[in-house]
Chains A and B, each alone.
Chain A
Amino acid sequence: MSRHKDETNSADLLRGNTVLLVLAVLRDGAAHGYAIGREVARRSGEALEFKAGTLYPLLNDLEREGWVESRWSGPGEGRPKRVYELTESGRSELMRRVGVWTAFSQAVSQVVEGGPREVGGGG
Protein backbone atom coordinates (compact mmCIF):
# COMPACT_ATOMS: atom_id res chain seq x y z
CA MET A 1 0.00 0.00 0.00
CA SER A 2 1.24 3.48 -0.82
CA ARG A 3 2.59 5.52 2.08
CA HIS A 4 1.01 8.53 0.44
CA LYS A 5 -2.60 9.16 1.15
CA ASP A 6 -4.85 9.86 -1.81
CA GLU A 7 -5.14 13.64 -1.61
CA THR A 8 -7.47 14.03 -4.58
CA ASN A 9 -10.44 13.89 -2.24
CA SER A 10 -12.08 17.33 -2.07
CA ALA A 11 -12.38 17.15 1.73
CA ASP A 12 -8.59 16.81 1.97
CA LEU A 13 -8.07 19.67 -0.44
CA LEU A 14 -10.55 21.79 1.49
CA ARG A 15 -8.77 21.22 4.80
CA GLY A 16 -6.24 23.94 5.42
CA ASN A 17 -7.94 26.38 3.07
CA THR A 18 -11.23 26.84 4.88
CA VAL A 19 -10.21 30.19 6.38
CA LEU A 20 -9.25 31.54 2.96
CA LEU A 21 -12.56 30.39 1.46
CA VAL A 22 -14.71 31.95 4.18
CA LEU A 23 -12.79 35.24 4.14
CA ALA A 24 -13.04 35.32 0.32
CA VAL A 25 -16.82 34.88 0.44
CA LEU A 26 -17.16 37.62 3.05
CA ARG A 27 -15.06 40.03 0.96
CA ASP A 28 -18.11 40.48 -1.24
CA GLY A 29 -20.42 41.38 1.61
CA ALA A 30 -21.84 40.25 4.92
CA ALA A 31 -23.46 36.83 5.04
CA HIS A 32 -24.91 34.41 7.57
CA GLY A 33 -23.53 30.92 8.19
CA TYR A 34 -25.79 29.01 5.84
CA ALA A 35 -25.24 31.52 3.02
CA ILE A 36 -21.46 31.26 3.44
CA GLY A 37 -21.55 27.49 3.04
CA ARG A 38 -23.86 27.70 0.03
CA GLU A 39 -21.73 30.37 -1.61
CA VAL A 40 -18.57 28.28 -1.29
CA ALA A 41 -20.41 25.37 -2.89
CA ARG A 42 -21.89 27.56 -5.65
CA ARG A 43 -18.60 29.25 -6.58
CA SER A 44 -16.80 25.92 -6.71
CA GLY A 45 -19.48 24.34 -8.89
CA GLU A 46 -20.53 22.19 -5.90
CA ALA A 47 -17.03 20.67 -5.77
CA LEU A 48 -16.29 22.07 -2.32
CA GLU A 49 -18.78 21.60 0.43
CA PHE A 50 -18.46 22.63 4.06
CA LYS A 51 -19.62 20.19 6.66
CA ALA A 52 -22.03 22.55 8.36
CA GLY A 53 -21.03 21.40 11.82
CA THR A 54 -17.48 22.65 11.26
CA LEU A 55 -18.51 26.04 9.92
CA TYR A 56 -19.63 27.60 13.20
CA PRO A 57 -16.52 26.60 15.15
CA LEU A 58 -14.52 28.11 12.28
CA LEU A 59 -16.52 31.35 12.34
CA ASN A 60 -15.95 31.46 16.09
CA ASP A 61 -12.19 31.17 15.48
CA LEU A 62 -12.27 33.95 12.89
CA GLU A 63 -14.20 36.21 15.20
CA ARG A 64 -11.77 35.58 18.02
CA GLU A 65 -8.89 36.45 15.71
CA GLY A 66 -10.68 39.71 14.93
CA TRP A 67 -10.95 38.91 11.22
CA VAL A 68 -14.73 38.94 11.16
CA GLU A 69 -17.39 40.51 13.33
CA SER A 70 -21.00 39.52 13.67
CA ARG A 71 -24.38 41.08 14.42
CA TRP A 72 -28.01 40.03 14.30
CA SER A 73 -29.78 40.96 11.08
CA GLY A 74 -32.20 43.85 11.48
CA PRO A 75 -36.00 43.68 11.55
CA GLY A 76 -37.61 43.39 8.14
CA GLU A 77 -34.88 40.99 6.92
CA GLY A 78 -36.91 37.84 7.56
CA ARG A 79 -36.05 35.50 10.43
CA PRO A 80 -33.29 36.94 12.64
CA LYS A 81 -29.91 35.64 11.51
CA ARG A 82 -26.39 36.10 12.78
CA VAL A 83 -24.58 37.91 10.00
CA TYR A 84 -20.78 37.93 9.65
CA GLU A 85 -18.69 40.59 7.95
CA LEU A 86 -15.04 41.13 7.25
CA THR A 87 -13.06 43.57 9.42
CA GLU A 88 -10.08 45.59 8.20
CA SER A 89 -7.77 43.12 9.85
CA GLY A 90 -9.67 40.30 8.12
CA ARG A 91 -9.22 42.03 4.78
CA SER A 92 -5.44 42.22 5.35
CA GLU A 93 -5.37 38.56 6.35
CA LEU A 94 -7.30 37.66 3.23
CA MET A 95 -4.80 39.54 1.04
CA ARG A 96 -1.93 37.75 2.74
CA ARG A 97 -3.55 34.33 2.31
CA VAL A 98 -4.45 35.01 -1.30
CA GLY A 99 -0.78 35.88 -1.94
CA VAL A 100 0.43 32.67 -0.31
CA TRP A 101 -2.17 30.56 -2.14
CA THR A 102 -1.44 32.15 -5.52
CA ALA A 103 2.30 31.60 -5.19
CA PHE A 104 1.74 28.02 -4.07
CA SER A 105 -0.76 27.12 -6.79
CA GLN A 106 1.46 28.69 -9.47
CA ALA A 107 4.43 26.72 -8.21
CA VAL A 108 2.44 23.46 -8.27
CA SER A 109 1.12 24.24 -11.77
CA GLN A 110 4.63 24.89 -13.02
CA VAL A 111 5.85 21.58 -11.66
CA VAL A 112 2.89 19.72 -13.15
CA GLU A 113 3.25 21.44 -16.52
CA GLY A 114 6.99 20.88 -16.79
CA GLY A 115 8.54 24.02 -15.30
CA PRO A 116 8.75 27.68 -16.35
CA ARG A 117 9.82 28.38 -19.90
CA GLU A 118 13.38 29.63 -20.04
CA VAL A 119 13.65 32.99 -21.74
CA GLY A 120 16.13 32.80 -24.64
CA GLY A 121 17.33 29.43 -23.42
CA GLY A 122 18.56 26.54 -25.59
CA GLY A 123 19.57 27.27 -29.21
Chain B
Amino acid sequence: MAASAVSLWEELVSEEIWPEAAREYADRVSALLVGLVPVDRRERLRSEIAEHVTSAAEELTGTGLEPCEAMRRALREFGDAESVAESFYESWSGRCSRRVLGLDAFALAAFAGPLVLASGFLQVRAWAPGVEASDIAVPSVLFYGLAPSVLTTPELGWATSLALVLVLMGPWVGGWLVGRRHAFRAGRRAAGVLAFLCVVAGLSAAGMWPLSEGVLLGLVVLVYWLPVGVWFSSWVSLVARSNRTGGLGVGG
Protein backbone atom coordinates (compact mmCIF):
# COMPACT_ATOMS: atom_id res chain seq x y z
CA MET B 1 0.00 0.00 0.00
CA ALA B 2 2.80 2.35 0.95
CA ALA B 3 4.43 1.76 -2.43
CA SER B 4 1.23 2.51 -4.34
CA ALA B 5 0.61 5.64 -2.24
CA VAL B 6 4.08 6.95 -3.04
CA SER B 7 3.60 6.26 -6.73
CA LEU B 8 0.39 8.29 -6.58
CA TRP B 9 2.30 11.35 -5.32
CA GLU B 10 4.96 10.80 -7.96
CA GLU B 11 2.27 10.56 -10.57
CA LEU B 12 0.39 13.64 -9.36
CA VAL B 13 3.37 15.84 -8.70
CA SER B 14 5.82 16.26 -11.51
CA GLU B 15 7.95 19.31 -12.23
CA GLU B 16 5.50 20.39 -14.93
CA ILE B 17 2.15 19.93 -13.26
CA TRP B 18 2.75 20.42 -9.53
CA PRO B 19 0.61 23.58 -9.32
CA GLU B 20 -2.35 21.47 -10.47
CA ALA B 21 -1.64 18.56 -8.14
CA ALA B 22 -3.80 19.80 -5.24
CA ARG B 23 -6.80 20.17 -7.53
CA GLU B 24 -6.11 16.80 -9.18
CA TYR B 25 -5.95 15.12 -5.79
CA ALA B 26 -9.16 16.82 -4.59
CA ASP B 27 -10.85 15.71 -7.83
CA ARG B 28 -9.85 12.12 -7.11
CA VAL B 29 -11.32 12.17 -3.62
CA SER B 30 -14.48 13.82 -4.90
CA ALA B 31 -14.82 11.31 -7.75
CA LEU B 32 -14.63 8.41 -5.30
CA LEU B 33 -17.68 9.83 -3.54
CA VAL B 34 -19.87 10.14 -6.64
CA GLY B 35 -23.21 8.48 -6.02
CA LEU B 36 -22.53 8.26 -2.28
CA VAL B 37 -22.56 11.89 -1.21
CA PRO B 38 -24.69 14.71 -2.70
CA VAL B 39 -22.97 16.79 -5.34
CA ASP B 40 -23.00 20.07 -3.36
CA ARG B 41 -21.31 18.38 -0.41
CA ARG B 42 -18.73 16.79 -2.69
CA GLU B 43 -17.99 20.12 -4.33
CA ARG B 44 -17.50 21.71 -0.95
CA LEU B 45 -15.15 18.95 0.20
CA ARG B 46 -13.23 19.21 -3.07
CA SER B 47 -12.66 22.94 -2.58
CA GLU B 48 -11.66 22.46 1.05
CA ILE B 49 -9.14 19.75 0.24
CA ALA B 50 -7.59 21.73 -2.61
CA GLU B 51 -7.34 24.78 -0.38
CA HIS B 52 -5.89 22.78 2.51
CA VAL B 53 -3.22 21.09 0.40
CA THR B 54 -2.31 24.36 -1.33
CA SER B 55 -1.96 26.15 2.04
CA ALA B 56 0.16 23.34 3.46
CA ALA B 57 2.41 23.36 0.37
CA GLU B 58 2.80 27.13 0.57
CA GLU B 59 3.80 26.91 4.20
CA LEU B 60 6.34 24.19 3.44
CA THR B 61 7.70 26.27 0.57
CA GLY B 62 8.14 29.11 3.07
CA THR B 63 10.45 26.86 5.11
CA GLY B 64 12.75 26.52 2.11
CA LEU B 65 11.48 23.38 0.37
CA GLU B 66 11.30 23.29 -3.41
CA PRO B 67 7.68 23.96 -4.45
CA CYS B 68 7.39 20.60 -6.16
CA GLU B 69 8.71 18.73 -3.13
CA ALA B 70 6.53 20.83 -0.82
CA MET B 71 3.43 19.86 -2.79
CA ARG B 72 4.45 16.20 -2.71
CA ARG B 73 4.89 16.28 1.05
CA ALA B 74 1.62 18.16 1.59
CA LEU B 75 -0.25 15.49 -0.37
CA ARG B 76 1.48 12.67 1.47
CA GLU B 77 0.54 14.20 4.80
CA PHE B 78 -3.08 14.49 3.73
CA GLY B 79 -3.30 10.74 3.20
CA ASP B 80 -4.29 8.45 0.38
CA ALA B 81 -7.39 9.48 -1.52
CA GLU B 82 -9.35 6.31 -0.84
CA SER B 83 -8.87 6.52 2.95
CA VAL B 84 -9.92 10.18 2.97
CA ALA B 85 -12.99 9.44 0.85
CA GLU B 86 -13.88 6.49 3.05
CA SER B 87 -13.60 8.51 6.28
CA PHE B 88 -15.73 11.24 4.81
CA TYR B 89 -18.33 8.78 3.55
CA GLU B 90 -18.56 7.10 6.95
CA SER B 91 -18.97 10.48 8.59
CA TRP B 92 -21.56 11.58 6.04
CA SER B 93 -23.63 8.39 6.08
CA GLY B 94 -23.11 7.69 9.79
CA ARG B 95 -22.38 4.12 8.68
CA CYS B 96 -19.27 2.92 10.43
CA SER B 97 -18.12 -0.63 9.85
CA ARG B 98 -18.35 -2.81 12.91
CA ARG B 99 -15.23 -4.70 13.75
CA VAL B 100 -14.73 -8.03 15.46
CA LEU B 101 -11.20 -9.14 16.39
CA GLY B 102 -9.95 -6.24 14.28
CA LEU B 103 -11.77 -7.61 11.23
CA ASP B 104 -14.73 -6.23 9.35
CA ALA B 105 -17.77 -7.86 10.99
CA PHE B 106 -19.88 -7.97 7.83
CA ALA B 107 -17.10 -9.59 5.78
CA LEU B 108 -16.48 -12.07 8.56
CA ALA B 109 -20.13 -13.11 8.60
CA ALA B 110 -20.27 -13.25 4.78
CA PHE B 111 -17.31 -15.63 4.49
CA ALA B 112 -17.46 -17.52 7.78
CA GLY B 113 -21.17 -18.38 7.35
CA PRO B 114 -20.78 -20.65 4.31
CA LEU B 115 -17.52 -22.06 5.68
CA VAL B 116 -19.05 -23.04 9.02
CA LEU B 117 -22.07 -24.56 7.26
CA ALA B 118 -19.85 -26.47 4.84
CA SER B 119 -17.65 -27.88 7.57
CA GLY B 120 -20.78 -28.67 9.59
CA PHE B 121 -22.19 -30.75 6.75
CA LEU B 122 -18.83 -32.41 6.22
CA GLN B 123 -18.84 -33.37 9.87
CA VAL B 124 -22.36 -34.70 9.66
CA ARG B 125 -21.24 -36.96 6.84
CA ALA B 126 -18.22 -38.05 8.83
CA TRP B 127 -20.11 -38.74 12.03
CA ALA B 128 -23.10 -40.36 10.45
CA PRO B 129 -22.04 -41.94 7.16
CA GLY B 130 -24.90 -42.97 4.95
CA VAL B 131 -27.43 -41.00 6.95
CA GLU B 132 -29.06 -37.86 5.65
CA ALA B 133 -28.58 -34.92 7.99
CA SER B 134 -32.32 -34.46 8.35
CA ASP B 135 -32.65 -37.99 9.74
CA ILE B 136 -30.09 -37.53 12.46
CA ALA B 137 -31.35 -37.28 15.97
CA VAL B 138 -29.11 -36.92 18.99
CA PRO B 139 -29.29 -40.60 20.00
CA SER B 140 -28.10 -41.74 16.56
CA VAL B 141 -25.09 -39.45 16.76
CA LEU B 142 -24.30 -40.90 20.15
CA PHE B 143 -24.76 -44.36 18.71
CA TYR B 144 -22.05 -43.78 16.15
CA GLY B 145 -19.74 -42.74 18.97
CA LEU B 146 -16.77 -40.43 18.83
CA ALA B 147 -14.71 -42.40 16.37
CA PRO B 148 -16.61 -44.04 13.53
CA SER B 149 -14.44 -46.89 12.44
CA VAL B 150 -15.31 -46.93 8.76
CA LEU B 151 -15.98 -43.77 6.81
CA THR B 152 -17.75 -44.38 3.56
CA THR B 153 -16.82 -42.44 0.49
CA PRO B 154 -18.93 -39.31 0.07
CA GLU B 155 -22.43 -40.12 -0.97
CA LEU B 156 -24.22 -37.61 -3.06
CA GLY B 157 -26.98 -37.12 -0.55
CA TRP B 158 -28.35 -33.65 -0.10
CA ALA B 159 -26.03 -32.93 2.86
CA THR B 160 -22.85 -33.77 0.94
CA SER B 161 -24.07 -31.96 -2.16
CA LEU B 162 -24.89 -28.90 -0.12
CA ALA B 163 -21.46 -29.01 1.55
CA LEU B 164 -19.77 -29.15 -1.86
CA VAL B 165 -21.91 -26.32 -3.23
CA LEU B 166 -21.11 -24.21 -0.17
CA VAL B 167 -17.39 -24.89 -0.49
CA LEU B 168 -17.43 -24.03 -4.19
CA MET B 169 -19.76 -21.04 -4.02
CA GLY B 170 -18.68 -19.61 -0.66
CA PRO B 171 -15.98 -17.20 -1.87
CA TRP B 172 -18.20 -15.99 -4.74
CA VAL B 173 -21.19 -15.35 -2.52
CA GLY B 174 -19.07 -13.79 0.24
CA GLY B 175 -17.12 -11.72 -2.30
CA TRP B 176 -20.32 -10.47 -3.88
CA LEU B 177 -21.81 -9.50 -0.52
CA VAL B 178 -18.65 -7.72 0.64
CA GLY B 179 -18.16 -5.94 -2.70
CA ARG B 180 -21.77 -4.72 -2.72
CA ARG B 181 -21.62 -3.62 0.88
CA HIS B 182 -18.31 -1.78 0.88
CA ALA B 183 -17.67 1.08 -1.47
CA PHE B 184 -14.07 1.31 -0.31
CA ARG B 185 -11.30 -1.25 0.17
CA ALA B 186 -13.58 -4.26 -0.19
CA GLY B 187 -10.69 -6.47 -1.30
CA ARG B 188 -8.57 -5.54 1.69
CA ARG B 189 -11.42 -6.31 4.08
CA ALA B 190 -11.99 -9.65 2.39
CA ALA B 191 -8.26 -10.43 2.50
CA GLY B 192 -8.09 -9.78 6.26
CA VAL B 193 -11.07 -12.00 6.97
CA LEU B 194 -9.98 -14.80 4.63
CA ALA B 195 -6.43 -14.84 6.02
CA PHE B 196 -7.98 -15.22 9.47
CA LEU B 197 -10.28 -17.99 8.24
CA CYS B 198 -7.29 -19.79 6.69
CA VAL B 199 -5.68 -19.92 10.11
CA VAL B 200 -8.92 -20.96 11.81
CA ALA B 201 -9.63 -23.63 9.20
CA GLY B 202 -6.05 -24.90 9.47
CA LEU B 203 -6.24 -25.09 13.26
CA SER B 204 -9.69 -26.62 13.36
CA ALA B 205 -8.59 -29.21 10.79
CA ALA B 206 -6.80 -30.94 13.64
CA GLY B 207 -10.14 -31.32 15.40
CA MET B 208 -12.09 -32.53 12.40
CA TRP B 209 -12.84 -36.10 11.55
CA PRO B 210 -11.29 -37.46 9.47
CA LEU B 211 -8.16 -35.36 9.72
CA SER B 212 -7.46 -35.51 5.98
CA GLU B 213 -10.85 -33.94 5.28
CA GLY B 214 -10.16 -31.10 7.72
CA VAL B 215 -6.73 -30.45 6.20
CA LEU B 216 -8.30 -30.48 2.74
CA LEU B 217 -10.84 -27.87 3.84
CA GLY B 218 -8.01 -25.68 5.20
CA LEU B 219 -6.14 -25.96 1.91
CA VAL B 220 -9.26 -25.18 -0.07
CA VAL B 221 -9.67 -21.97 1.94
CA LEU B 222 -6.05 -21.04 1.32
CA VAL B 223 -5.74 -21.75 -2.39
CA TYR B 224 -9.32 -21.20 -3.55
CA TRP B 225 -11.29 -19.00 -1.13
CA LEU B 226 -8.56 -16.46 -0.44
CA PRO B 227 -7.71 -15.47 -4.03
CA VAL B 228 -11.26 -15.82 -5.36
CA GLY B 229 -12.84 -13.96 -2.42
CA VAL B 230 -10.36 -11.07 -2.54
CA TRP B 231 -10.49 -10.71 -6.32
CA PHE B 232 -14.27 -11.01 -6.61
CA SER B 233 -15.08 -8.59 -3.78
CA SER B 234 -12.67 -6.01 -5.30
CA TRP B 235 -14.20 -6.53 -8.72
CA VAL B 236 -17.82 -6.22 -7.50
CA SER B 237 -16.91 -3.07 -5.57
CA LEU B 238 -15.18 -1.59 -8.63
CA VAL B 239 -18.11 -2.40 -10.88
CA ALA B 240 -20.49 -0.79 -8.38
CA ARG B 241 -18.24 2.28 -8.32
CA SER B 242 -18.06 2.35 -12.07
CA ASN B 243 -21.86 2.23 -12.25
CA ARG B 244 -22.11 5.12 -9.80
CA THR B 245 -19.56 7.25 -11.56
CA GLY B 246 -20.60 6.40 -15.08
CA GLY B 247 -17.27 4.71 -15.79
CA LEU B 248 -14.98 7.53 -14.57
CA GLY B 249 -11.48 6.33 -13.81
CA VAL B 250 -11.17 6.97 -10.10
CA GLY B 251 -8.19 5.07 -8.84
CA GLY B 252 -7.29 5.66 -5.20
The chain A residues found within 8 Å of chain B, CB to CB, are 32-34, 38, 51-54, 56-58, 60-61, 79-82
CB A42 to nearest CB in B, in angstroms, measures: 12
Find residues 108-153 in chain B having any chain A CB closer than 8 Å to their own CB: none
Instruction: Say whether A56 contacts B45, CB under 8 Å.
Output: yes
Beyond contacts A60-B88, A80-B51: 8 other A-B pairs, Cβ-Cβ < 8 A, are: A32-B51, A34-B55, A52-B79, A53-B83, A53-B84, A56-B48, A57-B90, A79-B51
Instruction: Say whether B91 contacts A52, CB under 8 Å.
Output: no
Instruction: Say whether B44 contacts A51, CB under 8 Å.
Output: no
Q: Which residues on B sit within 8 Å (CB–CB) of A32?
A: 48, 51
Instruction: Say whether A52 contacts B90, CB under 8 Å.
Output: no
User: What are the 3 A-B residue pairs with the smallest beta carbon separation, nearest first?
Assistant: A53-B79, A57-B91, A53-B84
Instruction: Say whether B91 contacts A81, CB under 8 Å.
Output: no
B77 on the A face (CB < 8 A): yes
CB B82 to nearest CB in A, in angstroms, measures: 10
Partner of B88, one of A38, A51, A56, A79: A56
Q: Which residues on A sit within 8 Å (CB–CB) of B52?
A: 33-34, 52, 56
Q: How far is the CA of A61 from the CA of B93 in the complex (A)?
A: 10
Instruction: Say whether A58 contacts B91, CB under 8 Å.
Output: yes
Total interface residues on B, CB under 8 Å, equals: 21
Instruction: Say whether A57 contacts B51, CB under 8 Å.
Output: no
Q: Which residues on A sit within 8 Å (CB–CB) of B54?
A: 79
Q: How far is the CA of A52 from the CA of B51 in the complex (A)?
A: 12
Q: Which residues on B sit within 8 Å (CB–CB) of A57?
A: 87-88, 90-92
Cβ-closest chain B residue relative to A49 = B77
Instruction: Say whether A33 contacts B87, CB under 8 Å.
Output: no
B159 on the A face (CB < 8 A): no
Instruction: Say whether A34 contacts B51, CB under 8 Å.
Output: yes
Q: How far is the CA of A78 from the CA of B48 in the complex (A)?
A: 14
Cβ-closest chain A residue relative to B49 = A56
CB B203 to nearest CB in A, in angstroms, measures: 20
Find residues 64-100 in chain B having any chain A CB closer than 8 Å to their own CB: 77-79, 83-84, 87-88, 90-92
Instruction: Say whether B91 contacts A61, CB under 8 Å.
Output: yes
Q: Which residues on A sit within 8 Å (CB–CB) of B78?
A: 52-53
